[in-house]
Every structure is written in C-alpha cells, then in structure tokens.
Amino acid sequence: MDAIRGIWGEDEAKIRARLEALDPDLARYIEGFAYKEVLSREGLDLKTRELLAITALVGLGSPPELATHFKGALNNGASEAEIKETLLQAALFFGFPRAIAAFERWRRFREREG
C-alpha cells in the first residue's frame, strides 16, 4: 500500500515540496515514519486511518493539515456524509468549539475543491 500516493494524491509534489522547504529532516521523518511505517501497516484501511486522522486533528484544534486529510479520506473512499459524521462524533469528545472550527475548514475545503 502506498500511503503517500493514496493520501496526498495529485498534491504529492506540492506537499513534499512544502515539507522539504520547512526542513528536509522533518520531511524525511514524516514520510518515513508516518507514511511508510505507520499508515502503511495492515489492520486498518486508508479510509479508516484518514477518518481517524481527521478526528485527531479536530482534537488538536483543526489545524490547516485537516485539508490534506479531508482529501485523503475522499481519495480512499470516504463519502462527504462519513466525513461530516466524523466531525460530529469528534464534537462529543473535543467540544463544540473544535467541531465548529473543523466544519468551517470543511466548508472552505469544499469551496476550493468544488
């Protein structure tokens, strides 16, 4: 399973360049550990892993990286309804302010992606 291609999709070069520009070591750690070791493991499919990533990012305050994982979830078979349900579920554990912020990021993502 190529988690990088499955999650980043057509944005792979752009995301890789952004991470490299921040710091080459950071880019290497993210690619090697997060994507090649953890996200490529058997046991959970990428759709499930991406819905979990969305939940975790809501808990972290809905950072900009949510857009990458919205797209990754969609690339791996999640429906818009499943993403919305994931955001609603996160509200139970992280609170409504975090869910509101996540829904706002979802709205902006959908506007950009068409």
> Per-residue pLDDT tens for 29-79?
999 999 999 999 999 999 999 999 999 999 999 888 999 999 999 999 999
Q: What is the pLDDT of residue 62?
A: 81
Q: Which domain holds residue 21?
A: 1-43
> Do residues 57 and 85 both lie within one domain?
yes
The helix-helix angle for 80-94 and 96-113 (nearest 10°) equals 160
Kindly report the average pLDDT of the chain as a whole number: 94
pLDDT for residue 1 is more than 60 = no
* Same domain, residue pair 25 and 68: no
Return the CATH number at 70: 1.20.1290.10
CB 16 within 8 A of CB 9: no
Residues 53 and 71 in one domain: yes
With contact defined as beta carbons under 8 Å apart, do 30 and 66 qualify? Answer: no
> What pLDDT score was predicted for residue 114?
74
Mean pLDDT of 89-98: 96
